[in-house]
A and B are shown apart, each in its own frame.
Chain A
Amino acid sequence: MNESTDADKVRELKQFAGRIRQETVKEISAFGTGHVGGSLSIADLLAVLYGQEMNIKPEDPQWADRDWFVLSKGHCAPALYATLALRGYFPMDWLNTLNRNGTNLPSHADRLKVPGVDVTAGSLGQGASVAVGVALGLKMDGRDNKVYLVIGDGESQEGQIWEMALFAAQHRLGNLIAFIDYNGLQLDGYCKDICSLGDATAKFEAFGWQVVDVPDGNDVPSILQALETVRSKAQKADDRPSMIVLHTVKGLGWSEIAGTPKSHSTSINEQQRDQALAEIQTMMNAA
C-alpha cells in the first residue's frame, strides 16, 4: 500500500468509526437509556477490526475460516450491534429495537440472538475465558483463524481475567489478540479510586504476553500501528498472546458525558441525541 491509499484507508476507517458512534447514540436513544460510554470508547477499535483487520463474511456469520470476535465487556454490545448492522450482518432497523420486548438485540452481547456475535458475554471476565477456549480449539485443529478479544479496565478487577491471562500464556495462544479498553472509569466512578488496574502493560508483560501500549486508543492510525506491531512479532514465530492496551476516553463523541463517571449508563433525550450526533459529525468532518 502506498501513502495515499494508506491515508484513504485511515480516512475511511475514521468515517466508519463516526458512523458506529452515531448509530450507537441513535440506537440507545431510541430506547432511552443504555451503556453509552463504554460503547463509544471502543468505536474506533471496532471500525479498525470490522473495517479492515478481521477476516469475515457478513453474509455467512458462521464461516469456518472467519476470525472470531469476543466482546467480554458485553454491556457495550450496542456499539458492536451498530458495527454489525453497518457491515450488513442484519438490517439497520433492528437497531431501533435494542432492549425492547422480544428484541434480537439484548443489552449484553448474545450469540444465540445476534448474527455475527460469536460469544455470549455480560457477566464480566467470562467472555475472556471463552475466547481463550476458542483460541485453543482453533490451535488444536491447526487453523489460522485469529481470536480478537476486548476486555475493560474495570472488568480486569475480576479474578477470572488473571486466570485467563496465566492460561493463555501457558498455552502459547499466539492466535489471541486482546485489547483493554482502558478508559479509567467504571459504574461507581474512577477505577483508580475503586480498585486500580495500574500499569496494565507491565502486568500483562509480567504474565508472559506481548504487550503494545497505545497512548491514544481512540486514534485509528495508532490502533493500526499496534496491530502491525503484533503481526510482525507473530511473523517472528513469537507465539505469545498479544495485549494491546488502548488508553481511551469513555463516552468519546458526546462531550456532555465524555470522560466522566456519568458516561457509564445514562439516559439520552432527543436534544442530547442531536447534540451528540452533531458533535460526532464535526469529528468526522475534521477527520
Chain B
Amino acid sequence: MQNTEIKREGARVLTVCNACRYCEQYCPAFQAMEQRLTFATADLNYLANLCHGCGECLYACQYAPPHEFAINVPKTFARLRVQSYEEYAWPAALGAAFRRQGVWTALVLALVMAALLFGASAMLNGDALFAAGTAADFYAVVPHGVMVALFGAVGLFVLVALAVGVVRCRRDFAAAEPRERGGGGAAHAWHDVFTVRHLHVDGQDCVTSLEVRTPWRRWLHHATFYGFLLCFASTCVATLYHWSGLPAPYPYASAPVLLGTLGGLGLTLGTTGLLLQHRRRDAALSDPSQTGLDRAFLVLLLLTAASGLLLLALRDRPVMGVLLVAHLGIVLALFVTLPYGKLVHGLYRAAALLKYRASTGHRKAG
C-alpha cells in the first residue's frame, strides 16, 4: 500500500472507531482518539505508536471483516507505525531499510561484519586469533583501542541517528491533538513503558487468540528488554573497570560477567520465545510486510546473546579468538541496524506514552 493510501485508510478506520467508541476502555489509543474529530498525519502517527498491537480491539469489533466496513485497527496501526519509523529516520535515505529487512539480510550482514573483522584480525594479528589458551584475553585478539575506536564510531552514529529520530518523532507528536498541558504524568508514562502496562488491559493480559489470555508475550518482552539493558550495563561496568585500571578478563563472579550472563540468558529466552510466538500469532493482527523487520531484530539479538554466552563458556579454549570475532561481527551488525530496525518502536512508543500522560491520561493514575 502506498503512503497516502495508508494514511487515508487510517483516517477512514479511525472515523468509524470514533463514531463507535466501544473500545474506549481498552487502551490509551482509543482514549486519545476520542479527543479529535479528524485525523491528520501527526494524529495518525501518534495514535499508531500508542498502540501495542495486542489485538483485543479486533476481536471485540462488530465491524471487523467480513463486515463491509472491514475495520482492523491493529493492522492499520501497524502499517501506520512502520511508515512513521521511515518518516522519522535519519538519514532519510536509510529509512527504506525498515521495509527491506529480513532474517536473511540480517544474517548476511552479521556474516559480512564478522568476515571483515576476521580478515582484519588475521592480517594484523593472526597469531593471537588462532593461538590456544590465551587466558581469556579478548584484547590480545582485538586490541582494546581497536574495539573502542570501532564501536565508539558506530555507537556515536547510532546514537545520533536515534536521537534525530526521537526529536522528529516528538516534534510530530507535539502537533497531534490534544496538545500537551505542560509537564505532569512523566512518572506514570515511564511506569507504563517499563511495565508494558498496555499489554495487559485492566489487569488482565490481552488476547493472543480468541479469549485466551496469557502473560507470555509481556514476560518474554520483559526478558528481552531487561536482558538487553543488563547486557548494556555489563558493557558499561566493564568499561569503567577498564578505565579504573582493572583489565579484563573478569572472573565469573564479577559484576560485568554476572550482568552479562543474566542479560544474555534473558535475551536468549525472551527472543526465542518471541520468535516462536511470532510464528503462532494470529495473521489477522499484523502486517505481513513487517515480518522481516520484527524477526530480523529478534534474530540479531538472539545471535548476539547466544554468541556472547558461548564466548564466555569457551573463553579459555583455542576457539575463543574466532568466537570473539564472530560475536563482535554480530554485535556490529545489530548496532548498525538499530536506528533502522524494530528497536525504534520502544523509543517512539515511549514518546507516545509520555505525550498521552501529559495530555489525555494525565488524570488517570496508575
A binds B: no
Chain A interface residues (CB < 8 Å from chain B): none
Chain B interface residues (CB < 8 Å from chain A): none
